[in-house]
């Protein structure tokens, strides 16, 4: 199976560009701006000219750095908090940073080992793979993660079996190729014994094994009706369960990870701000709309007011759309403060894409 991801490196990713004309910045201003952004991402503390002169060997005086910072502030790239003499990056600065200043990130051997162990120990079905992806993504980026799994109508029938429930009923189990098990309660036909039920399940399994559930048409179901020996109740239960499975596959599923991570971020010490953000994340429809927006653009980064949804306009989001055989399978995203480690987030998403590609082949 071909599993495609529309962007595979930091330099190749496509981003949602803002509608502003970037003022010309010389290399020194760009270097100072990059230092301020990366220092602020690391410390969450406003950055002053003396800090830059002390920590970074630029070969220029604090006074020169201060003048350059003043120019950057006039151009809209820096802001000054009321209680600090230092500066912090603006949303415009972060946009320039992710578009042209960020250094390609790489994932460490320890991080790769952690991902390998995590998936090897935890996944059993497609849903569990997506849930594990959300959890490990939030754990490694220290931000909220969101995974949107699109419908999978290409799922295949694997086998069915009956499990005893009581004297008059059994549990009909249908196992699909993605490892999911769907169940329904069936009334036992009058006079049918357990071994006959097992034989019946085996006949139907051999008939349907490998067939895509989306291809279960009336002619195929008629063959099943013949094997069920004309028992209308059991046949109706079987058809109802197949329809239930197909219906569930048409629904998009959302998996979240790391919502508690918000409380660890200085930007979200405001309780009301956290409540508003958590309120958005609790609404599955809103999360689906959020992740579906411009879903065909591969890796996309939106910053601050570029996010169209009220409540996340103080945040940044890095999201990636991935495909299977040319069809969009889903989207994974990281949502956090604009002061997120963009390079780390991009490298983790990139590695997870490659890992999922292997898993789905």
Angle at 246 between CA 245 and CA 247, to 5 degrees: 90
Q: Is residue 161 within a helix (H) or strand (E), and if so which, with residue range?
A: strand 157-164
Q: Which of 333, 173, 151, 304 is nearest to 237 (CA)?
A: 173
List the structure tokens of 135.
């959890």
pLDDT tens per residue across all 361 residues of the chain:
333 444 434 334 433 333 344 557 899 999 999 999 999 999 999 999 999 999 998 889 999 999 999 999 999 999 988 767 789 999 999 999 999 888 777 788 888 888 888 777 655 667 778 888 899 999 999 999 999 886 655 678 899 898 988 888 889 888 888 777 888 888 888 888 888 888 888 888 888 888 887 777 777 777 777 766 556 777 888 888 887 777 766 567 888 998 887 778 888 877 777 778 888 888 888 888 888 765 555 788 999 888 877 778 889 999 988 776 666 677 889 999 999 999 999 999 988 887 777 766 6
What pLDDT is recorded for position 293? 60
**∠ CA(336), CA(342), CA(343), 5° rounding?**
150
pTM score of the predicted model: 0.70
Say if residues 250 and 146 touch (Cβ distance below 8 Å). no
Alpha-helical regions (H) of 155-231: 194-208, 218-227
Closest to 145 (Cα-Cα) out of 357, 350, 334, 353: 334
Burial letters for 290-319: b for 16+ Cβ neighbours within 10 Å, e otherwise? bbebeeebbbbbbbbebbeeebbebbbbbb
How much is the pLDDT for 17?
38
In whole angstroms, what is the distance from residue 156 CA to residue 260 CA?
37
pLDDT at residue 361, rounded to an integer: 61
- Strand ranges across the sheet with 157-164: 157-164, 169-176, 181-187
Cβ atoms 25, 33 nearer than 8 A: yes
pLDDT of res. 34: 95
- The tokens describing 46, both together, are 């406003």
pLDDT at 36: 96
């Amino acid at each position: 199976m071909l599993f495609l991801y529309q962007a595979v490196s930091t330099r190749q990713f496509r981003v949602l560009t803002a509608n502003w004309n970037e003022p010309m910045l010389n290399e020194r201003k760009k270097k100072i701006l990059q230092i301020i952004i990366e220092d602020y991402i690391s410390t969450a503390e406003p950055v002053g000219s003396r800090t830059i002169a002390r920590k970074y060997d630029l070969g220029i005086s604090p006074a020169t750095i201060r003048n350059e910072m003043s120019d950057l502030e006039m151009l809209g790239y820096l802001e000054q908090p009321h209680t600090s003499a230092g500066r912090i990056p603006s949303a415009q600065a972060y946009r320039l940073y992710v578009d042209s200043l960020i250094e390609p990130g790489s994932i460490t051997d320890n991080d790769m080992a952690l991902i390998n162990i995590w998936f090897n120990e935890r996944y059993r079905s497609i849903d569990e793979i997506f849930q594990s992806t959300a959890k490990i993504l939030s754990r490694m980026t220290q931000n909220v993660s969101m995974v949107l799994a699109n419908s999978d109508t290409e799922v295949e029938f694997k086998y069915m079996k009956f499990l005893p429930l009581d004297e008059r009923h059994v549990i009909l189990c249908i196992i699909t190729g993605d490892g999911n098990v769907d169940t329904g309660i069936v009334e036992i036909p009058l006079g049918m014994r357990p071994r006959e039920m097992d034989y019946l399940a085996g006949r139907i399994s051999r008939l349907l094994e490998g067939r895509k559930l989306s291809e279960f048409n009336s002619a195929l179901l008629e063959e099943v009706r013949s094997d069920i020996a004309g028992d209308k109740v059991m046949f109706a239960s079987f058809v109802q369960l197949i329809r239930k499975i197909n219906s569930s596959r048409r629904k998009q599923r959302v998996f979240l990870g790391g919502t508690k991570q918000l409380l660890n971020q200085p930007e979200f010490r405001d309780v009301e701000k956290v409540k508003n953000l958590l309120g958005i994340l609790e609404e599955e429809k809103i999360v689906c709309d959020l992740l579906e927006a411009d879903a065909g653009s591969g890796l996309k980064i939106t910053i601050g007011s570029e996010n169209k949804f009220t409540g996340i306009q103080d945040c940044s989001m890095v999201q990636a759309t991935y495909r299977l055989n040319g069809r969009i399978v889903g989207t994974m995203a990281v949502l956090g403060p604009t002061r997120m480690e963009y390079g780390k987030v991009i490298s983790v998403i990139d590695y997870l894409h490659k890992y999922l590609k292997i898993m789905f082949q």
